[in-house]
Structures are given as C-alpha cells and as structure tokens.
Amino acid sequence: MSFIRANGGVVHYRDEGPRAGPPIVLVNALGSDLRIWDEVAARLAGDFRVVRYDKRGHGLSEAGPGRADMADYARDLAGLLDALGVARATVAGLSIGGLIAQELYRQSPERFAGLVLSDTAAKIGDDASWNARIAAIEAGGVEAVADGVMERWFTADFRARRRDELTGWRTMLVRSPKQGYLAACGALKRADLRPFAGTIAVPTLCLAGDEDGSTPVALVRETAAMIPGAGFEIIAGAGHIPGIEQPEATAGWLARHARRAAAS
C-alpha cells in the first residue's frame, strides 16, 4: 500500500508498470475503490505506467470536509499527479471518475494526452434522484441502496453466475464510509459539465457497457456527441463497471486509445 499527501489530504494509490511507459490514470466510480481496476491494470502494466487511487472518502483515502464539489476531487487528482511526477497522461474516468476527469480537463487541459470517459456523462442524474439517494443513505446507510446498485453495476448474467464475486463487490460498496459516499453524491448532484464538453480538444473515447443501469448507453452516447471528434464504443456483456465483467475488452480499448493519444 502507498500513501501520499495531495491537496491537503492523504491519498491511497498504486503506481504500477514501467516509469518510461505512457501514463494511464484510472479514476473510480462512486462507492468503489481502486480494486475495481485490478484486472485492467494487470493487463496494462506491462507497457504503460498505470496510476490508480482511492478518491477522497473512499477506500483508504482521507474523507476531507463534509461537503466537496467536483473541483475538489479534481484538485485532489492534480495534487496526486504532481506528487508522482506525472505531467501528462491519458486519464480514464468511470462514472463519477469521468466527471472528475472532465473537471480536471477544464482546470488543466495541458495535463492530458488523451481522455477516456467510461460509463459516465457530462451530467448524471437530477436533483430528485440524488435527493432520494441521499435521504435513503442518511436513514439506512449505504446498505439501504446496495441491492439496487448491484443491479445497475452488473449484468443479470454476472449476478446469476458469479455470485461469490457479487458478494465481494457488494461488501466493498457497503463498507464505503457514509460521509464519503454522501459527499460524492452531493458533488454529483451539483456537477454539470455540459457547457464545457465542447471545449475538450484532446483525443477522447467514450465507452459504455451495453447493460449499464446507471449511465445507460444513450446517455454516454449523448455526451460523446458533445465532444468534438470523440469516439464511442459499446462493451458487450457489461454493466456499469466493464473493467470487472469484461477486463480484456476494457484494457484493449484503453491501451489502443492511450497509444494513439501519446503519438498525437
């Protein structure tokens, strides 16, 4: 385990692969930690420098104050990359991680060789949906939403055939610190990066699991259409976290895009 102080808080991270390799930065979904990328990172680390981390209030990273905005999460990531000496990278963000990546681009476009937006959008949900989730968690903890989240994260086939893994990922979710989860919900509720999507000027690839119940294919495609020249691909047999269900396909898309971005 590795820890570093970035933007005033302690961040748990992993920095794998050859230091001379093109950097790829992996940013996690709400209610998850860096372990969701294990199978993808293992496939990338032979050729790429792979950085992944627990965002504030998740995993082993510090929570920070009760309220945080997407700009705070982006500054956390900027501080981590500065501390690790990563000046320019392909940043791949999943779900809230995609919004963090978009916000970091808005703040510091020079940090990006390329951008991958996986199962995310420029705007996710509305006030009513986030208010309902926040109320449920305040009343019953993360456990109160866990079964519904599993249905959105994973395909019906995964939930039926890989039940032990499903139990493990559900346990990760419900062990998420309540404060950290609620802070991220609030940041998602307030975040709207649609006005800035058209300014993204690095090679961008948008990915969507074909059975994603959190950010459906149509929503991801809508965001891809806002970004000049963005590619859009559907990963078959995947829900909201393709890197768990389809790590080979996910790593393949990331590697191909990162190579193109590094060469551009």
- What sign results for the dihedral spanned by CA atoms 210, 211, 213, 214? negative
Q: What is the pLDDT of residue 153?
A: 98
Distance, in Å, from the CA atom of 65 to the CA atom of 105, rounded to the nearest integer, reads 23
Distance, CA of 241 to CA of 249 (rounded, Å) = 12
The CATH number for 7's domain is 3.40.50.1820
What is the reported pLDDT for 64?
A: 80
Predicted confidence at residue 264, as pLDDT, reads 83
- Identify the pLDDT of residue 98: 98
pLDDT tens readout for residues 111-141: 999 999 999 999 999 999 999 999 999 999 9
175-193 per-position pLDDT tens digit: 999 999 999 999 999 999 9
Two tokens, residue 61:
């990273």
Please choose, from the candidates 10, 18, 51, the residue with its C-alpha nearest in 3D space to the C-alpha of residue 34.
51
Instruction: Provide the whole-model pTM.
Output: 0.97
Alpha-carbon span 113 to 90, nearest angstrom: 5
Q: How far apart are the first and last CA of the chain?
A: 34
Residues of the chain with pLDDT under 50: none
What is the distance between the alpha carbons of residues 196 and 204, in angstroms, rounded to a whole number?
Answer: 14
Q: Please give the residue range of the domain that contains residue 244.
A: 2-263
**CB contact at 8 A, 159 and 150:** yes
Q: In the chain, how many domains are there?
A: 1
pLDDT at 229: 97
